[in-house]
Copies of this chain bind each other. A is one copy, B any other.
Amino acid sequence: MKRFILATHAYMSKGIKSSLELILGKQEHLSVYCAYAEGEPFFKPLVIQEVDEHPEDEFVIMTDLFGGSVNNELLELTTRQNVHVVTGTNLILAMSILLTCPESDDVAATIRNCVEDAKTGIVYCNDMEIDSDLDEL
């Protein structure tokens, strides 16, 4: 089975989960960790515990910031055969990972595709000139 984790500074992870569930429906195998938020326990041992509890499962951990402390704390998990870590998460990345990884036989390759889609999905819309295109139709 594939399992998914969102780990971010504060409540971004919880917020992304709410957006995902609004669009895709309930996500049974998606955990969230709100790092450094008031009253929240330190996330790292909890993530490790979750991974340790499911050695037969494959994990995709999505974090917020490359070079940020949440991602840095979890990077060592990439040494495990059953753990993937991806950072810079936006909604496209999270959606495409949740839609494509569960049935994938090659999660690494699938994640690489999702990363490319997520990059393509970051767009400065004013440069699209939608209205002038529409005017021409």
Give how many copies assemble into the complex: 2
- Name A's interface SS: helix
Q: Tell whether, in the assembled complex, residue A11 and residue B14 are in contact, meaning their CB atoms are under 8 Å apart.
A: yes
Query: Does A78 make an interface contact (CB < 8 A)?
Result: yes
Best-buried of A13, A21, A65, A108 by chain B (most CB within 10 Å) = A65
Q: Tell whether, in the assembled complex, residue A65 and residue B87 are in contact, meaning their CB atoms are under 8 Å apart.
A: no
Query: Does A45 make an interface contact (CB < 8 A)?
Result: no
Q: Tell whether, in the assembled complex, residue A88 and residue B21 are in contact, meaning their CB atoms are under 8 Å apart.
A: no
Q: Tell whether, in the assembled complex, residue A88 and residue B78 are in contact, meaning their CB atoms are under 8 Å apart.
A: no
Q: Tell whether, in the assembled complex, residue B11 and residue A15 are in contact, meaning their CB atoms are under 8 Å apart.
A: yes
* Known contacts A14-B15, A15-B10, A75-B130; is-contact A125 B91 (Cβ 8 Å): no
Q: Tell whether, in the assembled complex, residue A126 and residue B78 are in contact, meaning their CB atoms are under 8 Å apart.
A: yes
A42 neighbours in B (Cβ, 8 Å): none
Query: Does A122 make an interface contact (CB < 8 A)?
Result: yes
Query: Does A101 make an interface contact (CB < 8 A)?
Result: no
A90 neighbours in B (Cβ, 8 Å): 64, 88-90, 93, 118, 122
A88 CB to nearest B CB, Å? 3
Q: Tell whether, in the assembled complex, residue A130 and residue B78 are in contact, meaning their CB atoms are under 8 Å apart.
A: yes
Which of B19, B37, B111, B131 lies in contact with A22, CB distance below 8 A? B37
